[in-house]
Structure 1
C-alpha cells in the first residue's frame, strides 16, 4: 500500500493544490474499505464518500452538487463545505469542511465520471465483476434493503452504459486474501510501462 501511496504523492496536482484521486467500481466492490486503507498509507488523507453527495432522488445526478460544494472550492485552494446526506432520515445534514490536502480521495460509484475526470490526478478502478460485487453488497445490507438494491442495480447499469469509468482507469485494483494488487489500467495501454505503473502490495 505504501508503494501506491508514494506513486500518488508524486503525481502533479490536479485540482488547485490537490491531487484528487478517484476510486470507482461497482457497488459492493470494496471501494470504501480500500479507500480507508489507502488513506492511512497517505498519512490520513481526506476521503470524500460519494454516498454523502448522492441521495435517494439523485442516485447519480449529483455532478452539480459535487462541483459547487467540493471541486470549485478545492480548485481555488479553499476549504470545501459539503452537506452529507442522511440515508435513514432522507435529508441533507449540516455542512462539513473538507480542507485542501496534498492528496484527497474520492470514492464511490461514479467517481470516474466524465465530468470529474479532468480534475482527477489518477483514476483507480476496483476490479471485481459486477455480479459478484452486487452479491457482496446485497449480503452486506441485508433483506431490508432488497428493494433499494433492485433500483440501484438498474441505475448503476444505466450510468455505466452512458458514462463508463473502467476504460479510462489509470490503475486496476484487485483485492486478495492479504492486501491488494494494483496494475496498469486500460488508459495506460498506449503508454510505455515504467517501474511506477505496477504496484503490488500485501500489507
Structure 2
C-alpha cells in the first residue's frame, strides 16, 4: 500500500485507543504514542521517521538512547518512568537515563509538550510491560539473514561498535539476548499492524507491504 495509507491507519488506530481510554478513565492529555518494534536491522528507524514526518507536530524517541549502557532489555522502567508516563500526563520530557550520568554522556532525551504524535522505535519498544502506555504497536517484520546483513553493514559504516570484526562480534552477542527476548515477548501478537521491513518483492519508493494481524 502507499505509505500515506499506512500512516493513516496507524493514526486511526492510535486515536481509537486514546478515545477508549478517555471513556474509561478520562485520560486524553498527552500525544498519541506509537511503538515501532522489530528485529535489529529490520528498518524500524526508517519507518518511525516516515511516520513522524506525516504529522507536523511529532517526535521520534529512540529506544537505543534510553537503553544506552543499560543491561540488555533491562530498561523498561527507564522508558516507562522517564518518557512514556510524563508524555501521558501531557508533560514535556527532558530525561537523562542513569547511564548517561555514569558515563558522562552530554545532552538528554527531549520531547516538548503539546505534540500530536510521538513515535517510539527500537527492539522492545512495544514490549509487554509497556502495553498500557502506548496507543498503537507496529511490528516491522524482516528476514533474519537480510536484517543481519543490513544491520552489520550499517554499524560498520557508523563505527559505533569498533572495527569490522568487533562489530560482527557485538552483533552476535546482541542476538544472543535479542532472540530469546523476542521469542518470549512476542510483540507481533499484540501488533495493530505488521509492516514489511525487508521483502523479496519489488515495490515503489513510497510503498510498503502490510499485513493485518487480525
TM-score (norm 2): 0.76
1:124 maps to which residue? 138
Structure-1 residue corresponding to 2:121:
107
Query: What residue in structure 2 maps to residue 192 of structure 1?
Result: none
Q: Which residues of structure 2 form unaligned runs of 5+? A: 22-27, 157-163, 198-202
User: How far has the Cα of 1:8 moved from its partner?
Assistant: 3.4
Distance change in 2, residues 1:82/1:166 (3 Å): same
1:45 to 45, 48, 58: 58
Contact 1:23 1:31 in 2 (8 A): yes
Q: Distance in 2 between matches of 1:145 and 1:24?
A: 22
What root-mean-square deviation, in Å, do the aligned CA atoms of Structure 1 and Structure 2 show?
2.5
The structure 2 residue matched to 1:2, chosen from 4, 25, 29, is 4
1:117 deviates by 1.6
**Distance in 2, Cα, partners of 1:58 & 1:117:** 21
Is the 1:51–1:85 Cα contact (8 Å) retained in structure 2?
no
Question: Following superposition of structure 1 onto structure 2, how do residues 11-90 of structure 1 map, counting pairs within 5 Å?
Answer: 11-12=15-16, 13=18, 16-43=29-56, 45-83=58-96
Gaps of 5+ in 1: 190-203
Is contact 1:125–1:171 with CA below 8 Å preserved after alignment? yes
Q: How does 1:175-190 map to 2 (within 5 A)?
A: 175=197, 176-186=203-213, 189=214
C-alpha separation in 1, matches of 2:10 and 2:62: 19
Alignment of 1:98 with 2:121, yes or no, is: no
- Whether the 8 Å contact between 1:26 and 1:134 is mirrored in structure 2 is no
1:27 counterpart SS class: coil
1:133 & 1:4 partners in 2: Cα distance? 22
Instruction: Report which of the two has the higher share of helix.
Output: 2
Aligned to 2:167: 145
**C-alpha contact (below 8 Å) 1:23/1:106 kept by paired residues:** yes
d(CA) in 1 for partners of 2:146, 2:47: 17
Aligned length: 186
Question: How far off its partner does 1:51 sit?
Answer: 0.6
**The residue matched to 2:58 in structure 1 has which SS?**
coil
Question: Cα 1:141–1:24, aligned 2, differ >3 Å: closer, same or farther?
Answer: same
What is the distance in 1 between the residues matched to 2:11 and 2:204? 26
